[in-house]
Structure 1
Amino acid sequence: MITVLLADDHAAIRAGLRMMISTADDIDVVGEAAEGRAAVTNARALRPDVVVMDVRMPGVDGVEATRQIVAERLSQVLVLTTFDVDEVVFGALEVGAAGFLLKTAEPEAIIAAIRAVAAGDGVVAPEVTRRVLAAFTTPDGAARHGRAAGGPTGEGPEADSTGVAEQALLDELTGREVEVLAALGRGLSNQAIAAELFIAEATVKTHVSRVLAKLQVTSRMQAAIRAREAGLA
């Protein structure tokens, strides 16, 4: 059974999500939170498989709550919001959200996303996927979203040192882990990676965990971005 914590400041939305999720026999809503601080507290207490997180909430917002939950490895976080502006999308993914969907998504898509995130896969709304990849894999986009001009996509000594450091992390990967990273960069699920590499899905999960640890990132999307930056996908 997949356990879920709902975090949204609107009670009606939480009730609607709970009702929708109740149609899935394999998912159980174990708690709710009306703001970010409560989401973190409840995640610590309940340790749900997935936190379905809104972004704009009073007090601690959803991005900061996601950062804390991911940093403490309490749960996977699926951001579900009405806002698809770049600031919100990139903020959520940069702090380690495993998925990002808009509230306009069909119920079947939301339920499928919860299952995917719980299984260790990443999910990004089709409406924003192209913007995400462009933002993190082009010089202009990288500079706008967290990488300064002196970063790996810029010029100068800082660019060189950062690039060397990131290459050193990539060099720690085994051949199989590089193959898995490349597959992540192409957006493949664990099941698809297993089929492509002729290995068990459980083995894929192990490789993904090791890739994230070696690259010092916390989500599949962050790893996928690294793969694209390195020209692997």
Structure 2
Amino acid sequence: MSVAVKKIHDLIASPRNVAMFKREVLVCSRLHHPNIMIVCGAVMAEGSPLQIVMELLEGSVGEVIDAAHASGSYLTVYEQLFIAMDMASGISYLHQIRPLPYVHGDIRPSNVLVTRDMKVKVGDLGSAHIIESSLSAGPMSPSYVAPERSSTSSTLASDIYSFGVSLIEIFSGVGPIPEERQTQLALLAPRSHLFMLCSRLIRQKPADRMSAQRCFETLKAAVAENHSKLPSR
């Protein structure tokens, strides 16, 4: 396996960032799933920069979206569906860990990594925490934050909302603007199955949102229905 080394720079080595860095190592060391980033080890010796040794990946889904726009094209149906399905698979795994699920806390395209053949790995788990822990919500881009999270810690439901916003971005190619959430969702109306899926992920009431596992099953069925139209991967 080719590996990369992630270091925490001295300029950002605040107590909070160091704690987040160490938490990422701890969380990743407990997780084993094809759609979760693999951490091979870590170096946290006194006097040395904190380092995480992880599998080498090509970049983030956010970078893939930006590169597609820069080339004057966009992601194919094949790429969109498989990115979405792999994301749902990884998030579903976190949410179904027993006895206590993990909340990711910062789901967005820039925190989801891709391999050269476009397989997706959910990463940047420094904000992740066990669902019953007392940890407060970690830092997050406001564009992906669930409406209820301004006053509470991150939850499984807030993860789902952020995932739904990410899928709207992946399927539409338009970056999220909170004030235009419904307008951006409407861009998916011609693809009714995706419109309905994303609608169920970003509902205002947390209890009304679709689970990551159900989303994964829905996307897997969509891939199966389009199998004859999509190249094998």
What TM-score, normalized by structure 1, do the two folds share? 0.30
Q: Which has the higher helix share?
A: 1
* Greater relative CO (CA pairs within 8 A, separation 6+): 2
What TM-score, normalized by structure 2, do the two folds share? 0.30
